[in-house]
Amino acid sequence: MCDSKTCLASVPSSPRRKFLRETGASAIAVTIGGLLTSKLSVAAEVTVVPKPENVLSPDDAIKRLMEGNARYVSGVTRRQDFAHDRDALIAGQNPYAAVLSCADSRVAPEFAFDSSRGDLFVTRVAGNVVDDDVLGSLEYAVAVLKVPVILVLGHDKCGAVGAAINVVIKGATYPGKIQSLAMTIVPAVNKVKGKAGNLLDAAIAQNVRNSMADLRSSSMLIREAEGLKKIKIVGGVYRLSDGKVGLLG
């Protein structure tokens, strides 16, 4: 009898044995590959978001905004606990709405809509106008954060709109970049000038509508998302006297 190791080494494998060995290994590889592909597909489909309650349709997001504002107006806001959300928000964010608001210190969207950290993606600039930086920020909110709604929020007694009215009516000029900001709002003033009613209130509402139009005309990304019904763009005016937000028709 020869040594088994020597015999095995010296005897060539039969074609059948070689076929079985190779096809067996291939089958195992295919099976493992299939399992890995399946697991990766499942992993790609299942996305864990920091705040699952913020995954809403555009209509539900608007409804949630207005329900929060109603609580704020009535003085029954919820207790916001940062400690409760802190760990989840370290991993990322999935706000349920983006807000373009005036920078006026009397208007605070997070308070006005009784929201918590991670709920609203807020950009603020005097007169709630759309410039490149605001546009890029809101495009990020739509494309990356997948917000279902953009709210353009003006407010009554807006100083920026009042400055634009003074430019149109009195030929006023302002120092620094204040003039260019006021000039951005002048088209809204001109559109409502001469109509019945309070000029400031009318210009504030028209300025909100102009910003909504600017978002659509200046950003293909936002325009396409709205066309696919992934987002809604709405406008509103915050009332300083009681905090109520009225949506524009």
pLDDT value for 48:
83
Identify the DSSP state of 196: S
Backbone phi, then psi, for 121, in 5-degree steps? -105, 105
pLDDT value for 18:
45
* 158 annotated to a ligand binding site: yes
Find all residues with CB under 8 Å of 73, minimum gap 6, and list them. Answer: 242, 243, 244
pLDDT value for 79:
80
| pLDDT tens digits, one per residue of 121-177 | 999 999 999 999 999 999 999 999 999 999 999 999 999 999 999 999 999 999 999
CB 190 within 8 A of CB 168: yes
* 102 annotated to a ligand binding site: yes
Q: Read off the tokens for 12.
A: 């060539």
Backbone phi, then psi, for 57, in 5-degree steps? -75, 165
Prediction pTM value: 0.80
Q: How far apart are CA 240 and CA 223, in angstroms?
A: 31
Stretches in the chain below the pLDDT threshold 50: 1-46
Q: What structural domains and CATH numbers belong to the chain? A: 52-248 (3.40.1050.10)
pLDDT value for 16:
42
pLDDT value for 107:
96
Q: Read off the tokens for 190.
A: 């001109």
pLDDT value for 88:
84
